[in-house]
Amino acid sequence: MAQETAPAAAAASTNLVVSRLLQRLPVAALGIRCSRTPDIARIARASGHHAIWVDLEHSSISIDAAVQICAAAFDIGLMPFVRVPEREYGVIGRLLDGGAGGIIAPRIETVAQAEDLVAACRFPPLGHRSAIGTLPHVGYRKMAAPDFNTAMNQATALKVLIESPLGIENIEGIAAVPGIDIVGIGTNDLSAELGVAGDFRHPRVRAAHDAALAACLRVGKPLAIGGIADAGYAAELMHRGAAPFLMTGIDTDLLLAVAQERVRLAFASLENTEPK
């Protein structure tokens, strides 16, 4: 009996992020681009994060390094997402089999693309993910295939990123696809596609955000609007209904910020030192 209930418990814990967002509770997530060892997961947990996301779209991190970080995150109650560089069935399967708890798929523009993502990430009957005997997510325990598939489908979180005008046009249909848990807006890329790169308050960007908010509220899916280097506007969007999915930073940016501050303090100490 213990072997049968363990995967269900795992599913409940790995769905913590989706559950919190549906309750409009904040989720803090740390992005990973330069770290290569499981230590970064422990650091994220110790600093109060609920989730991490390993960025394979904008880094040279290998699948092997990514899944080791993800598996370590699971062991300490941290939800590990991986942002994939493309929606390739084999790559997604290897990441999920190795320890990823969620997939973030960039550049989703159509309902068909969202449906293909679900097919790659979900076991039957929800998708076409290839069967596997057991996984690190459930401590490599064995269980009946139908129960295992159900538990893992519940455990796996899927987030689509909308980053183009076409994606905004189709966002309600995309959000409504069964198996999609979170809809994200990549505002940096979206603003560039709209011809106003980095101008997050431009009327075109605001109109896109308005359309996305209305669509996701109708469908009942959390909308995480990211890529906004404007705390006031980000707070306004969350007040209007955007999910409190807080991207606290990327490891490269955080390391740079701390290093710059330490250098500043080091030189300041020299200036304040009296010669003896």
Task: From first to last of the 276 residues of the chain, give the pLDDT tens digit.
Answer: 333 333 343 444 347 899 999 999 999 999 999 999 999 999 999 999 999 999 999 999 999 999 999 999 989 999 999 999 998 899 999 999 999 999 999 999 999 999 999 999 999 999 999 999 888 888 888 889 999 999 999 999 999 999 999 999 999 999 999 999 999 999 999 999 999 999 999 999 999 999 999 999 999 999 999 988 788 999 999 999 999 999 999 999 999 999 999 999 999 998 876 655
Domain annotation covers residue 147:
yes
Question: Cβ contacts of residue 243 below 8 Å, gap of 6+?
Answer: 21, 24, 27, 182, 222, 223, 224
Amino acid symbol at 27:
V
Domain annotation covers residue 276:
no
Question: Cβ contacts of residue 244 below 8 Å, gap of 6+?
Answer: 21, 24, 25, 26, 27, 238
The domain of 179 spans 2-271
Q: What is the DSSP letter of 125?
A: T
Residue numbers annotated as active site:
58
Can you give the CATH number for the domain in which 215 is found?
Answer: 3.20.20.60
Domain annotation covers residue 89:
yes
Query: How many domains does the structure of the chain reveal?
Result: 1
